[in-house]
Amino acid sequence: MPTESGADAMMPDLVQMLLDAPAPAPELSEIGRVAEVGDGIAVVTGLARALADELVEFASGVRGIVFDLEPGRLGVVLLGPSEAISLGEDVRRTNRVISVPVGPALLGRVVDALGRPRDDKGPVGASMIHPIEAEAPDILHRSAVHRPLATGLKAIDATVPVGLGQRQLIIGDRQTGKTSIAVDAILNQRETGVLCIYCAIGQRGDAVAKVIGALHDADMMKNTVVIAAGDEDAPGLAYIAPYGAMSVAESFAAKGRDVLVVMDDLTHHAHAYRELSLLLRRPPGREAFPGDIFYVHARLLERAGQFTQSGGGGSITVLPVVETQAENLSAYIPTNLISITDGQIYLSPRLVQKNQFPAVDLGVSVSRVGGKAQSRAFRAVAGNLRVTLSQFEELEEFARFGTRLDDRTRARLQRGAAVRAALRQPERDPVSAAVQLSVLLAAMEGLFDGMSEAKVATSMTAIRVAIEADDGGIGARIASNEKLAEEDRTWTLDTARRVVKAAGHGADT
């Protein structure tokens, strides 16, 4: 008679163990239905327990954020194409809020608002995710802004300085160079160790591609994260993009790093939020924006700052960009952002017409914090620079009427024109602090008086070459926040005079 094998003998025991084991707990899942679909939004019924800002997933794979909680219905902002969703489609809760990948794996990558790659380099591979919404750090975890953020632009570093941890608004009409200033500020961080995040909100694809190309050409992409929510994407992605950028910045700042975030631009962000709110039947207010638009931007920008060691020790500097129409600074969104931020850099279309780039209007631009972080060497130049230019602009208006001018007034006009020409700077060409200081000192001391614009440009180039070859230690003293000594001033001016004379430039007759 055949004997029973060991495996066959174990089978009854295994079956008995399975029969004696406790039954698995039932898995409860709430399923809702799509009642309405709009451009970027959906109305869902049947999810009575859903929470505000919760992430929900549609049967088609599109995800959305619960925005409005109303009896019997939910207003959901879609994070994908609304064309993919059909009426009656199943909707499931995820029991989590919208989050994005963070960490060093994002450096050098181009991702969308959800952290998905858009650069054909494969998965991001981030090991951590953070919610896009976070409370702003409290006052005990903040310290005063005390370190400068050099942009490499003479018109900004000398007159409208920005400090690490500051929120400085870049504002102006279309085609005035707002993005160029922001990108130049990023390019100037190549040797500073500051990590950068460029967040494109509602921008055209070719415009974002130009920025990425400039970052690659300057070898700055390795220290930069590009987050793009283009004009072809869902408005929900444009809405969450800057919040995701801030979460990425917070992950770096928590490890003691300094981060520069450019939000280009918050006008498109406000328009996307207005579109979503009106489709969800939220009551419109001024300029058809919902009443909470101020809070939308305030809670975003309040997350920036210089943090104490207990708060991570890093800093988040934000350069939000906003577009005006016909120089209207009193419009709803510009006034909101001016009141939220720590100053503004105003780019004037009138200066653009005069071929003055960067077109920074020093009469309207102001930095409420950065002056405290500005190098002491720059402070010695900045005050006189503003006065000289303001007097020049007033005299220039009178001179237009053909008034006879005395010699003193003509000298002021020459000096002002020379200083304004010295502030000109081509895009994608930031310069060091020592070069900026040398050029501005030369202009203020009259070395460029009476020169044509072309001669001023070539003189500035010659001074830059000489100072970059040997700055006499001025760059190190500026970095250590030392006051500009008289011998440094004399050496700089002597160098500038020698270079200008060698170039054969003088006043035009």
Q: Is 109 annotated as a binding residue?
A: no
The residue among 262, 266, 259 whose CA lies nearest residue 226 is: 262
Q: Is 376 annotated as a binding residue?
A: no
Q: Is 173 annotated as a binding residue?
A: yes
Q: Is 72 annotated as a binding residue?
A: no
Q: Is 492 annotated as a binding residue?
A: no
Please classify residue 479 by burial: count the beta carbons closer than 10 Å to its beta carbon, then call 0-12 exposed, 13-18 middle and 19+ buried. middle
Q: Is 179 annotated as a binding residue?
A: yes
Sign of the four-CA dihedral 180, 122, 248, 432: negative
* Active centre residues (catalytic): 368
Partners of 305 in beta bridges: 316
Is residue 422 a contact partner of residue 448, using CB atoms and an 8 Å limit? yes
**Could you identify the residue written with the tokens 């008034």?**
403
How far is residue 168's CA from residue 295's CA, in Å, rounded to a whole number? 18
Beta-carbon contacts of 98 under 8 Å, excluding residues fewer than 6 positions away, are 53, 55, 63, 65, 79, 114, 131, 132, 133, 240
End-to-end C-alpha distance for the chain, whole angstroms: 126
Beta-carbon contacts of 416 under 8 Å, excluding residues fewer than 6 positions away, are 388, 389, 391, 392, 393, 395, 396
Q: Would you tell me the crossing angle of helices 293-301 and 235-253 to the nearest 10 degrees? A: 30
How far is residue 114's CA from residue 102's CA, in Å, rounded to a whole number? 11
Backbone angles phi, psi at 108, to 5 degrees: 85, 5
Listed in order, strand segments (DSSP E) in 54-140 are 54-58, 63-70, 73-78, 90-97, 99-102, 110-111, 128-131
Is residue 29 a contact partner of residue 90, using CB atoms and an 8 Å limit? no
Q: Is 176 annotated as a binding residue?
A: yes
The residue among 265, 270, 367 whose CA lies nearest residue 323 is: 265
The SS3 call for residue 116 is coil
- The angle at the Cα of 126, spanning 124 to 128, to the nearest 5 degrees, equals 150
Partners of 344 in beta bridges: 169, 366
Instruction: Write out the H or E segment, with its range, that includes residue 347.
Output: strand 343-347
Q: Is 172 annotated as a binding residue?
A: yes
Backbone angles phi, psi at 225, to 5 degrees: -115, 130
Sign of the four-CA dihedral 185, 191, 196, 198: positive
List, as residue ranges, the binding site.
Answer: 172-179
Instruction: Report the binding-site residues for ATP.
Output: 172-179
